[in-house]
Amino acid sequence: MTTPAPRVLGLALFAALAACEAQSPEAAPGTPAADAAAELNVAGIRDISGFGLWSAGELAMRNESLGTRIGPDFSARETLADYGNHRFRFIRRDGDGFPEQHDNIIDVVMVQSGEGILQLGGTLVDPESGSEGEWRGSAIEGGERHPLTPGDVVHIPATVPHAFLVPDGQHLTYVLVKFPAP
């Protein structure tokens, strides 16, 4: 099997992005996104049930908005989409998150901006049960620390304690996809 040339893949991705942006309220007729979608004739993508796309520009605007709504837990979040068996969340942290563990959920994290550290593994200290196999703790003993920067993608298996740590004066923004564990 051959792999399409990067230019062909790039054009296909551009066409898909343009089509999605053309559907959004911001893409009025005559805008570059609407013109690109029309030029590339990709209107058929509008009819795909369950399709979702959040452009880098949209996520940057959401990041700015979340930055004005940071709560006492040093974070702000919103659900981008809930598809029943998995969901997309957008989270901004301006400080350390609570250590947590999910018995039945896998987390996939795509870092968008800022910097931080993922504390992973070890033992959850003072675990308190939440709903449906969700646990929060006061700390994590042991484990590993992994630096996070924009573009990083992380897979956190179910039952693994984890926490997002954010250096003073910094922030960490990421898309979180939650899947049920097999």
SS (H, E, C) the chain: CCCCCHHHHHHHHHHHHHHHHHHCCCCCCCCHHHHHHHHHCCHHHHHCCCCCCCCHHHHHHHHHHHHCCCCCCCEEEEEEEECCCCEEEEEEECCCCCCEEECCEEEEEEEEEECEEEEECCEEECCEECCCCEEECCEEECCEEEEECCCCEEEECCCCCEEEECCCCCCEEEEEEEEECC
| pLDDT in the model for residue 29 | 53
| pLDDT in the model for residue 30 | 54
pLDDT tens digit sequence for 138-160: 999 999 999 999 999 999 999 99
Which domains can be identified in the chain, with CATH numbers?
6-47 (no CATH), 56-180 (2.60.120.10)
**Residue 114 or 45, more confident:** 114
The number of angstroms, rounded, from the C-alpha of 177 to the middle of its chain's C-alpha atoms is 6
Instruction: Please say whether the beta carbons of 163 and 140 come within 8 A.
Output: yes
**Residue 35 or 94, more confident:** 94
| pLDDT in the model for residue 49 | 82
Which amino acid appears at position 46 of this protein?
R
pLDDT tens digit sequence for 15-63: 333 433 443 444 445 555 445 444 444 445 556 888 899 999 999 999 9
Question: What's the rounded Cα separation, in Å, for the pair 171 and 48?
Answer: 35
Question: What's the rounded Cα separation, in Å, for the pair 49 and 68?
Answer: 33
Report pTM: 0.73
| pLDDT in the model for residue 157 | 97
Q: Which residue from 150, 151, 148, 149 is spatially nearest to 162, judged by alpha carbons?
A: 148
| pLDDT in the model for residue 93 | 97
φ, ψ at 137 (rounded to 5°): -135, 175
pLDDT at 100 > cutoff 50? yes
pLDDT grade for 82, boundaries at 50, 70 and 90: very high
Percent of the chain past pLDDT 90, that is, above it, reads 69
